[in-house]
Amino acid sequence: MKHVARKRFGQNFLTDKLVLDNIIDAIGPEKGQAMVEIGPGLAAMTALLLKRLDHMHVVELDRDLVARLENNFPREKLTIHSGDALKFDYGQIPVPEGQKLRVVGNLPYNISSPLLFHLAEFAHLIEDQHFMLQKEVVERMVAAPGSKVYGRLSVMLQWRYDMSLMFIVPPTAFDPPPQVESAIVRMVPTARKLACDGPTLEAVVMKAFSQRRKVIRNCVAGMFTEAQLIEAGIDPSTRPETVSLEQYVALSNLLKQPA
């Protein structure tokens, strides 16, 4: 029985065999590794991954798709977690000693940003992440200071990950085809994460980008003085999208200093 894609779940199923093969090659799964796929859908990628893995986990919200997965894959090959990826505890997945978890998925566009932030809480347990996302979102994730799309998502994710846009995927690779292009992003938790309090950095970045057309001095007024901006190496007359991750971290650390 054909499964009809559900708009409320943001379902667009990847069907292009060449694109699927390219994604699997980019991921490079190997036997013995612990891997979880978010939103396996009709399991096109799941089936290819399981050709190279002994076993894997999937997180799926759609109960009809869960039933399909249960019918199509033996339990010794696939562990199915029926639930919301936004609330799932990725730390519960067993990982062989000395290894970390690998995460993959064609992420629903309507929850991509909150899901990325939820996964960031588990970055210390993760080896790498490979995701299909809306191209515009990936471009924001990997944007450098000075780019028009550099913002909160860029800073907060670059604080935790080294990221790269792997390749573009056209709408024709999906059923139904989305209205936008997609892209594959590789995310590797950084080994040189700058020392900083995460919630403080988040508060600073949100404040800075709340009025991105204004200069940074005005954006963070009431949180930082002009002297503090200069102390962090920031020109008070510059705009928030030109301020580097290192400078935002420096600002955050000033805020956490005892009075």
In 152-246, where do the E strands start and end? 161-169, 174-175, 182-189
pLDDT digits 0-9 by tens, 4-49? 444 444 457 888 999 999 999 999 999 999 999 999 989 999 999 9
> Is pLDDT above 90 for 88?
yes
| 71 marked as part of a ligand binding site | no
- C-alpha closest to that of 154 among 86, 244, 85, 20: 244
Q: Decide: 236 and 217 in contact? Cβ < 8 Å.
A: yes
| 25 marked as part of a ligand binding site | no
Token couple for 60: 């799926």
Q: Which residue has the higher pLDDT, 168 or 15?
A: 168
Domains of the chain, CATH where assigned: 7-189 (3.40.50.150), 198-256 (1.10.8.100)
Token couple for 124: 């210390």
pLDDT digits 0-9 by tens, 193-236? 899 999 999 999 999 999 888 999 999 999 999 999 999 999 99
Q: Decide: 133 and 109 in contact? Cβ < 8 Å.
A: yes
Beta bridge partners of 122: none
pLDDT of residue 10: 44
Reported residue count of the chain is 259
pLDDT of residue 1: 46
Alpha carbon distance 164, 19 (integer Å): 18
pLDDT digits 0-9 by tens, 126-135? 999 999 999 9
pLDDT digits 0-9 by tens, 53-67? 999 999 999 999 999
pTM, entire model:
0.90
- How many Cβ atoms from other residues are within 10 Å of residue 130's Cβ? 23
| 14 marked as part of a ligand binding site | yes
| 54 marked as part of a ligand binding site | no
